[in-house]
Structure 1
Amino acid sequence: MSSNTTAYVPPPPLEGAARVWGTLALSAATFMNVLDSSIANVSLPAISGDLGVSSTQGTWVITSFGVANAIAVPLTGFLTQRIGQVRLFMASVILFVISSWLCGLAPNMTMLIAFRALQGFVAGPMIPLSQTLLLSSYPRAKAGLAMAMWSMTTLIAPVMGPLLGGWITDNISWPWIFYINIPVGLLAAGLTLLIYRKRESPTHKVPIDAIGLALLVLWVGALQLMLDKGKELDWFHSPEIVIMAVVAVVGFAFFLVWELTEKHPVVDLSLFKRRNFWSGALATAVGYGLFFGNVVILPLWLQQYMGYTATQAGMVLAPVGVMAILLSPIVGLTVGKVDPRRYATASFLIFALILWMRSRFNTQTDFATIMVPTVIQGIAMAFFFIPLVTITLSGLTPDRIPAASGLSNFARITAGAMGTSIATTLWENRAALHHAQLAEAVNTGSTATNAAISTLGGAGFSSEQVLAQINRLVDQQAFMLATSELFYASALMFLLLVPVIWLSRPARGGAGADAAAGAH
């Protein structure tokens, strides 16, 4: 977004019931949006089977949403200039409801993927603008509390998504994972119209940066497709992946040059001149990528190699929200009095601790032991979002906050996708290496091997069954070792993120200090 616009003076904060209902409306919309990024994951087998496609093709239900969403999020600042904050947020919510309805009605996989892409695209401005509108609803002294309320929805929704999606698919039918958005979205849109219609931001008829937009779609689309299909196509051994990587790199280079020289860029890259913005956005993106990658690996390991059911794996992940919900309001109320860099440092140190604890797991670890780091992780999550948003947005004038929020959320979403792809690829590659090393020790000269063959043979297993059982045990140990290595490496990376936080300056002045609870 162009920085030469007239300074925007925000309306006074909301009071009483209006503030409560406004917070509920914005939080409901955010919850609906974040929930939809994960609710379809456990429903893929049912969707694929019902629509007559393979499970691999079914994953496009998730990736189409992610690609479109990643492209739309950084456009928030530009679209806000053209349409206005409130109108754009309303349009995003209503179009999300319509696209959700269309997803439920989709007669085949092609139409479902198209409607999911539409759903992801129209959802783009929703999260950044919910942050912006929420900050404008609270006085500076309570802005930290506002961000606490907002962050709680982003913490609960990813946990509830798989649990709710699985229950709906098993007990009703998969289209209802999309239909449930309709009442929530209509309620959020109605309350937003009622409370925020007279709090619209000014609009500016800036030209549409069509080339910048086209380049953005090109490189983000190529990057996401490369990440999504890389493991399936054996990464850079595939010409298709190499072509997508080249398109992503070249497209990104042209995008940077164009946006930095364009008078009215579609994405305001000048924000990266601000030390607090780039350090906060970088720490958020890398931290979220590490977190998301490990959140994907843990249930995979539990279900595939520890004998857990999907419900049991969900139960292991569910308690993560307990401490986060309890502590987020406290962090929000005190972030103006305590340097947010201290809170973010505490978050990274606790993340490193819980990942180190998980790296100590073995194939005999019981349910209670696996649960302990999950409960502690809620503390790290409570100290993660609010302080980092505070640092990232500090010192910005109100007219730049939508663009800054959109750009930082874009970096976070993209890092989450990259974290998932990198973590699963490293996990399988390391497991394959460990399997080969362990298999070398399985021979007739090994006392342990002979004892295992003798025991299994005595239990009535045929020679083929004995070998299959030994291979399963080797597999289990190989993936256990790979899981431990991944958790340990992630713990070290969280420690390396701590200095990045301290590259930022203490949050002071400007409207962006609203995010810092206005302490200075």
Structure 2
Amino acid sequence: MTPLRKNLLIVTVLLAAVMELIDATIVNVALSHMSGNLGATLEDTSWVVTSYSIANVIIIPITSFLTAKFGRRNYYITSILIFTICSIMCGSATDIWTLVFFRFVQGLGGGALLSVSQAVIFEQFPREKQATAGAIFGIGVFIGPTIGPTLGGYIVDHYSWPWIFFVNVPVGILAIISCYKLLTEPAIKPVVKKIDWTGILLLAVGIGTLQTVLERGETEDWFATAYIAWFTVIAVVSLTAFVIWELKISNPVVDLGVLRSKTLSIAAVLTFITGVGLYSSIFITPVIAQRLLGFTPLQTGLMMLPGALLAVLALVFSGKIMQRGLSPVFIVAAGYISFIYFNWHMAHMSLDASEGYISTTLIFRSVGMAFLAVPLTTLAVSSLQPKDIPQGAALNNMMRQLGGSFGIAVINTYYTRRTAVHRTDLVSNITIENPEVTERINNAVHYFQSKGAGFFEAKAQAIGLLNAQVVKQTSMLSYLDAFFFLGGLFVITMPLLLFVRTKKRAMANVVISDH
């Protein structure tokens, strides 16, 4: 392959990977618009995010099998085609559950784009320049989350939310044409192994039912609703059977045997919590900014941009200091501390918070994300034998996606519970005996009367205004509790780093094996 064709191929697969990552974050700034336009609650609309993550969790473990079975070129092009067609269907959806369905299928198509793109990029560089390949792919991976919210905000402000999906179409078509012309099969073709369909089915059923229980349990009064009770039983049975089955067979879809490594087990827990923090924080921050603080989608996206750009520098920095011999444990600890500070700071926000306050605070989230991205994967595989590194890295990546999908569900449930508590506390102080309440209502009545309303109409409007303020305060207090809860998860799990013992291993070897 000529240098020109190599460079075009690198740009193409990197563009496809960035497109997939943009779609993972671009919807966050549009959730409020989707919710209002489709007549859905925010809890239902959150499935637009979680269904995509669940699909990724299901498809990532079997990507290597599908690549070997159908050929890398065919599978990769088909995945882009599925992703592009589903982008059209998502943008054309007229109800929330149609959107969620095609978003799930889109996630199945997008699952191949990251891992296959990474493998293709590494193939274009000799072994001694694998670090360069890792840097190119790493920076590309950060471009997606960086421009996703900003691009989404611009599109929603100037066009409409369906265009956050339609924008994928020309990119997808160009990627398909380019891959058809440039992409070839790897020099060493992978061996086609017998696929563990039973394991995949148990994993899909277990995750799907558990996710439904977490998402809908609070709304449906938990086990008082028959299907929630049944789904709980199915989730427990399926996931238990999945673990037993995967430990029993010779070619498991997820090799749980590698968890015998204490370091990998600890890294998997930390990665799961990281997924919870990453996806939950990027889910609720735009909701607060738009629904409670009155920011536009574009303002929200721009607010996230400085931190995301600094994250690229932090990613390069963390890679360099690891290559110089610093243990990933210290970098992960720094990332955790940065996340804890971010959540603590957000938990003390008020309804008067400015764009600058939130934007500055988000820098700590973004830097924390950069310090956790590569070091956690490095930590996860640091104690494994070379033959087990791919399985360890895949399992670790799966834990991050699981943490993300579960995190959003748990935060929604936690928010709902705290909303009920805070509303009760606030309403208990709103009585006619309270002089401040009486004064506020009277002032509002006089204001509405000055605008032409009659006394009874003005009083009804005044009470409605007071109720709206209670709802706003209740929501804000509940979201602040959510940030405090997320920070608590990081505080509780951070001491696990004290039990990690790492072996010195060349960073290049870890990067090569990660794909």
Which residue of the partner structure matches residue 125 of structure 1? Answer: 112
- Asked whether 1:55 is paired with 2:40, we answer yes
**Any conservation in 1 of the 2:323–2:506 contact (CA below 8 Å)?**
no
**Which of 309, 332, 336 is 2:319 aligned to?**
332
User: Cα–Cα, structure 1 residues 430 and 361, in superposed 2: closer, same or farther, change >3 Å?
Assistant: same
- Show the counterpart of 1:288: 275
Q: Which structure is higher in helix share?
A: 2
Change (3 A) 1:38 1:228: farther
1:487 to 477, 480, 483: 483
Q: CA deviation at 1:310?
A: 2.9
Amino acid at match of 2:292: Y
Alignment of 1:308-347 (within 5 A): 308-337=295-324, 338-347=326-335
1:437 maps to what in 2? 425
How far did residue 114 of structure 1 move? 5.3
Superposed CA deviations along residues 59-118 of structure 1, whole A, max 9, x for unmatched, are 765555444332111223444554566665455335434554565678998876655443
- Residues 61 and 436 from structure 1, CA distance in 2 versus in 1: closer, same or farther, beyond 3 angstroms? closer
**Structure-1 residue corresponding to 2:410:** 422
Tell me by how many angstroms 1:46 deviates: 7.8
Percent identity, aligned pairs only? 28
Query: Is the contact made by 2:415 and 2:478 (CA closer than 8 Å) also made in structure 1?
Result: yes
Q: Deviations over 1:9-34 (max 9, x none)?
A: xxxxx998777555433322211112
1:149 Cα offset (Å):
3.6
Q: Equivalents in 2 of 1:77, 1:400: separation in Å? A: 15
Q: Is the 8 A contact 2:261 2:383 kept in 1?
A: no
Matching residue within 192, 208, 214 for 2:195 = 208
Correspondence 1:504 to 2:492: no
Contact 2:122-2:512 at 8 Å conserved across structures = no
Structure 1 residue aligned with 2:206: 219
Of residues 95-104 and 446-455 in structure 1, the stretch that sits farther from structure 2 once superposed is 95-104
Query: Using the alignment, how far apart are the partners of 1:136 and 1:401 within structure 2?
Result: 18
Using the TM superposition, give the Cα deviation of residue 298 of structure 1 relative to its aligned residue in structure 2, in angstroms: 2.0
Q: Deviations over 1:313-360 (max 9, x none)?
A: 333333331211233223223322122111111111011112111122
Q: Higher mean Cα deviation, 360-369 or 164-173? A: 164-173
1:253 and 2:240 correspond: yes
Gaps of 5+ in 2: 450-457
Does 2:62 match 1:75?
A: yes
Distance in 2 between residues matched to 1:29 and 1:90, nearest whole Å: 10
Match of 2:454 in 1: none
The normalised TM-score by structure 1 is 0.82
Q: For the residues of structure 2 that align with 1:182 and 1:401, how far apart are their CA atoms? A: 36
Shift of 1:479: 2.6
Q: 2:374 maps to which residue?
A: 386
Specify the alignment match of 1:264 in structure 2: 251
1:474 aligns with 2:470: yes
Q: What is the SS of the residue equivalent to 1:319?
A: helix
Corresponding residue number in structure 2 for 1:199: 186
**CA-based RMSD:** 3.7
Amino acid aligned to 1:466: A
TM-score (norm 2): 0.83
Whole-angstrom distance in 1 between the partners of 2:135 and 2:185: 25
Counterpart position of 2:144: 157
Query: Could you tell me whether the CA contact under 8 Å between 1:103 and 1:175 is conserved in 2?
Result: yes
For 1:55, give the aligned amino acid.
A
Structure with more relative contact order (C-alpha pairs < 8 Å, separation 6 or more)? 1
Q: Deviations over 1:401-452 (max 9, x none)?
A: 5544433222211211111111122123212211111211222332322332
Alpha-carbon spacing, 1:97–1:469, altered in 2? closer, same or farther (3 Å): closer
CA 154–239 in structure 1, closer or farther in 2 if over 3 Å, else same: farther
Paired residues in the alignment total: 503
Q: Map 1:295-310 to 2 at 5 A.
A: 295-310=282-297
Aligned counterpart, 1:9? none
Residues 232 and 434 (structure 1), Cα distance of their counterparts in 2 relative to 1, 3 Å cut? closer
CA gap of 1:448–1:496, structure 2 versus 1, over 3 A, is same
Structure 2 counterpart of 1:33, one-letter code: E
- Flag the 1:58–1:343 CA change in 2: closer, same or farther, 3 A: closer
